[in-house]
């Protein structure tokens, strides 16, 4: 199981990892990315869903989602 699957998300955009004891403040989009990732969506599927919902180019979304997932790896969440 990936660490991201263990994250608990609340309505205030706080992600809590109970095993590590860490909390993370998220914005709405990062919370949405984590939610989609927890549904085992691929990076490409996440980009597609966000592109349909928001007025942002897929190339910009690719950069932003890739950057966010890299940060999650740095924090040991992926």
- Across residues 50-78, what is the average pLDDT? 93
In this predicted structure, the answer to whether residue 77 has a pLDDT above a threshold of 90 is no
Buried b (16+ CB within 10 A) or exposed e, 38-50: eeeeebeebbebb
What pLDDT is recorded for position 5? Answer: 86
For the chain, domains (ranges, CATH) are 3-74 (1.10.10)
Name the nearest CA neighbour of 34 among 11, 12, 62, 65. 65
Estimate to the nearest angstrom the gap between the alpha carbon of 46 and the chain centroid: 9
Segment 1-59, tens digit of pLDDT: 468 888 999 999 999 998 888 999 999 999 999 999 989 999 999 999 999 999 999 99
pTM comes to: 0.86
| Pairing state between β 22-25 and 8-9 | unpaired
pLDDT value for 1: 43
């Amino acid at each position: 199981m990936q660490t991201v699957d263990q994250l608990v998300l609340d309505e205030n955009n706080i992600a809590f990892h109970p095993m590590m004891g860490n909390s993370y403040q998220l914005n709405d989009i990062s919370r949405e990315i984590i939610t989609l990732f927890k549904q085992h969506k691929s990076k490409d599927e996440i980009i597609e869903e966000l592109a349909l919902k928001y007025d942002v180019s897929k190339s910009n979304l690719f950069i932003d989602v890739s950057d966010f997932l890299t940060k999650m790896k740095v924090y040991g969440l992926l």
